[in-house]
Amino acid sequence: MATISPAKEFSLITQAQKGDRNAFGELIRVHAQGVQSVVYRMCGNQQLAEDAAQETFIQAWLKLPSYRPKSSLRNWLYRIAVNTAIDMLRKEKRIIPNTIDDLNLVDKRPTPERSLVSAERSEIVRDTIIALPDTSRAVLILREYEDLSYREIADTLDIPLGTVMSRLSYARKLLKDKLSLQLELHAEVTYA
Amino acid sequence: MPDHKFELLNAYLDGELNPQQHRKTEAHLETCEECRAELETLETLSGTLAEVPLPEFSPPEQLVANVALQLPRKPLKEPASRKWLEYGWWLAPIGLIATWAFISIYTVAGDLVGAASNLGLVENASIFAGNSTNYSALLGRFGLLDPSMLEWLVPSETFIRQFFSQLIWQVALAMLYLSWIAIWWVRQTRLGPKQQFGN
């Protein structure tokens, strides 16, 4: 991920707020990976995630004049990203999970068979995450994949700290219950 | 059998407990097998989630180009409603102080004019004079109160009514002002005292 000093980012935001597209382009380069990660974890589909990431930055540009640098730009973008991903999923009215073949995964396993098993496991986990309620899923993703603190999640999603804790606990409990069953079934089918 | 601390295990795992809670939970985990097992499950779950890879997205340059194609020429102006809300927010305490100052000046001026009127220095002081009914005087007029009682009841009632009316509006204004400060403080605390940007 491209990194940038807070002072440089502040300068880019100020320029972008005045209509400087190049400055906004720089901000996109810095935050592209984070936003793509959030929308993909929320949608579970690469194409939808690409569209959602694009839409997130368009929305960010439109809302930029009202952005106040009191909270981090990253967290502000994550908030837009989460809402955009949820909106896009609603518009699609269904979840379009990737097939394993669509996933351009880096093969870290020594054999194709093991790689396939790993990809299948990943697909099960990803689909189980996507089946979570939107609100709990957003909290889980920001915590597990973006490593945001509870306070940062509360600020990003504009919810109380206690709600972050309860939603995270709920999401993990649901995942634990669903995944243990799914992965057990998967293991039985794979190794039978 | 020890009380389980399942509700704290998520925050423990995420390093979100304060030092005291952390120590207590750690001590509890040494003695509670069920909580240890639950913590282990949560750790395994985190590990399982981390296994899910990200696909290879289009490079940032392509994203920048795609976004640039769809951007309007300039960012939209800040919505007027939001701007007025912002002005209104900062005008609220000024308005409250101005109201307080106005009522105070009006009251003091009324007292001065009343005093001047009593001394015969001002002829028409009706603009500042309250014309609300004095109930003690009214009851006295109907012969329901003894004249000796009226001597102290009428000024007492006037004093009490003036005192409470002054007290009520001053307390109301003070409460509104304190509420504004409380909301301002909460906003500052939530957004953080320093203006920081992304890490």
Tell me, yes or no, whether B94 and B185 share the same domain.
yes
Cβ-defined contact of B196 to A155 (cutoff 8 Å): no
Q: Higher confidence at residue A109 or residue A57? A: A57
Q: How confident is the model at residue A94 (pLDDT cuts 50, 70, 90)?
A: low
- Percent of chain A whose predicted confidence (pLDDT) is above 90: 57
CATH pick for A1-95 out of 1.10.287.70, 3.40.50.2300, 1.10.1740.10, 3.30.70.360? 1.10.1740.10
Please tell me the distance in Å from B3's CA to the nearest CA on chain A: 19
Give, to the nearest 10 degrees, the angle between helix B60-70 and helix A21-43.
Answer: 110
Q: How far is CA A115 from CA A17, A112, A127, in A?
A: 46, 5, 18
> Which one-letter DSSP state was computed for residue A64?
G
- Residue range A6-22: mean pLDDT, rounded: 90
pTM of the model: 0.64
B111-157 pLDDT, tens per residue? Answer: 788 778 777 777 665 555 555 567 777 777 777 777 777 777 877 88
pLDDT above 70: percentage of residues in chain B: 82
Same domain, B178 and B135: yes
Give the torsion through C-alpha atoms of B151, B157, B159, B164, to 10 deg: 170
CA distance B33 to B14: 20
Reported as a single tens digit per residue, the pLDDT across A38-75 is: 999 999 899 999 999 999 999 999 999 888 877 789 99
Residues B110 and B152 in one domain: yes
Residues B84, B47 within the same domain: no
The residue with tokens 């990943």 is: A122
Taking an 8 Å cut-off on Cβ atoms, the answer to whether B55 and A72 are in contact is no
B78 vs B32, which has greater pLDDT? B32
Q: What is the mean pLDDT of residues A64-92?
A: 90
Q: Are residues B181 and B144 in the same domain?
A: yes
All CATH 1.10.10.10 domain ranges of chain A, comma separated, are 98-192
Statement to judge: residues B140 and B176 lie in one domain: yes
Mean of per-residue pLDDT scores for chain B: 80
| Same domain membership, residue B178 and residue B91 | yes
Helix, strand, coil percentages in chain B from 3-state DSSP, rounded to 5 = 70, 0, 30
What is the C-alpha to C-alpha distance for residues A139 and A142, in angstroms, rounded to an integer?
A: 5
- Across B88-100, average pLDDT: 88
Q: What is the dihedral of CA A173, A175, A180, A184, to 10 degrees?
A: 170
CATH (one of 3.40.1010.10, 1.10.10.10, 3.10.580.10, 1.10.40.30) for A98-192: 1.10.10.10
Please indicate whether, in this complex, the C-beta atoms of B73 and A19 are within 8 angstroms of each other: yes
- Residue type for B176, please? L
Q: Closest to B10 (Cβ–Cβ): which among A155, A168, A179?
A: A168
At residue A40, the pLDDT reads 95
DSSP B119: T
Q: Is B197 on the interface with A (CB under 8 A)?
A: yes
Instruction: Flag whether B199 is in a domain.
Output: no
Task: Determine contact: B49 vs chain A, CB below 8 A.
Answer: yes
Q: Does B196 touch chain A (CB under 8 A)?
A: yes
**Cα–Cα dist B45/A132, whole Å:** 15
- The reply to whether B198 falls in a domain is no
B47 shares a domain with B11 = yes
Nearest by CB: A57 against B45, B67, B79: B67
Residues B113 and B39 in one domain: no
**Which residues of chain A form CATH 1.10.1740.10?**
1-95
Assigned token pair, A66: 């009202």
The answer to the question of residue B63 being in a domain is: no
Q: Count CB pairs under 8 A between chains A and B.
A: 141
B141 lies in the same domain as B87: yes
pLDDT at B2: 56
Q: Which residue has the higher pLDDT, A105 or B20?
A: B20
Report whether A163 contacts B86 (CB < 8 A). Answer: no
User: Which of A62, A70, A144 is opposite residue B192, by nearest beta carbon?
Assistant: A70
Q: Which of A148-152, B101-105, B115-119 has the lowest mean pLDDT?
A: B115-119
What would the 3-class secondary structure string for A49-76 be?
A: HHHHHHHHHHHHHHHHHHCCCCCCHHHH
Report yes or no on B69 lying in a domain: no
Q: A6 and B198: CB-CB below 8 Å?
A: yes
The string of pLDDT tens digits covering residues B34-76 is 999 999 999 999 998 998 889 999 899 999 999 999 888 765 5
Q: Kindly determine whether residue A28 and residue B60, on different chains, have CB atoms separated by under 8 Å.
A: yes
Report how far apart, in Å, the C-alpha atoms of A65 and of each of B74, B85, B91, B149 are: 10, 15, 22, 70
- The nearest CA of chain A is from the CA of B124 a distance in Å of 56
Shortest CB distance from A103 goes to which of B14, B41, B55?
Answer: B55
Q: Is B132 on the interface with A (CB under 8 A)?
A: no
**Which residues of chain B lie closer than 8 angstroms to A122, CB-CB?**
51-53
The domain in which residue B136 lies consists of: 80-191
| Rounded Cα distance, B147 and B139, in Å | 10
65-84 of B, contacting A, C-beta below 8 A: 66-68, 70-79, 82
pLDDT in tens, B31-40: 999 999 999 9
B27 shares its domain with B90: no
Q: What is the pLDDT of residue B136?
A: 75
Least confident of A72-76, B30-34, B162-166, B180-184: B162-166
Higher pLDDT, A104 or A85: A85
In the predicted structure, residue B195 carries a pLDDT above the cut 50: no
Domain count, chain B: 2
Same domain, B94 and B186: yes
Contacts 24+ apart (CB under 8 A), B127-132: B132/B161
